[in-house]
Amino acid sequence: MKNIVYALIFLLMISIVIAGAGRTIDLDFSKEPKYIYPFLESDRAKFNMLGDEHTIIIHKIKDDVKGQSVELEIYPYYQSIKEGNVDYVTLNNKGNTVKIDLDKNGVRDLKVSLVQIKDKKAWLIFEQINETYINQLTGKTLNSSPKKFYQDKNFIIAGVIGLIILIIILILILKNRKK
């Protein structure tokens, strides 16, 4: 009798875990460049791009008098789920779009757009983009990621000059103290 009770408790726990996990939608950008799907909270989109598997989880869907929004958890690489590397993005109102640089090389690889929220479902468009190709065609950089301050050569030059001036000032101060 105890075994049956334990088995029922085990089955109940598994059903709760499975219900809370959400469904996984596999996207294959080698077959289609664009996908549109309805998502519920805890659903995830999984896809291969740039030689690795990536995951986007629909964390929260809000549809109230304050407005509509979808919170996304973006795991650029599958192993980063275990490592805790995650980016959080919120799409507000329909038509809002985010472009994601999965490999952090300054070129965005994926565009996610919110179409609508209806009946606790968020309709999202996932579209593979290739900004490098577009840049080569047009000669223009589209929405380039800003450089970090330490990547700017002018910043480095100014830092070296400032360091040299500081050393000269310290030398002059020390010479005056000795006299």
Where exactly are the structural domains of the chain? 23-146, 147-179
Closest CA to 39 of 122, 104, 100: 122
Q: Express each pLDDT in 68-101 by its tens digit.
A: 889 998 887 755 555 557 888 888 877 788 888 8
What does pLDDT average to over the chain? 76
DSSP string, 68-80: EEEEEEEESSTTH
Q: Express each pLDDT in 143-155 by its tens digit.
A: 455 555 555 677 7
pTM value is 0.60
Q: Which CATH class is domain 23-146?
A: mainly beta
Burial 34-73 (b: 16+ CB within 10 A, else e): ebeebbebebbbebebeeeebbbbbbebebeeeebbbbbb
Q: Express each pLDDT in 102-111 by its tens digit.
A: 877 778 888 9
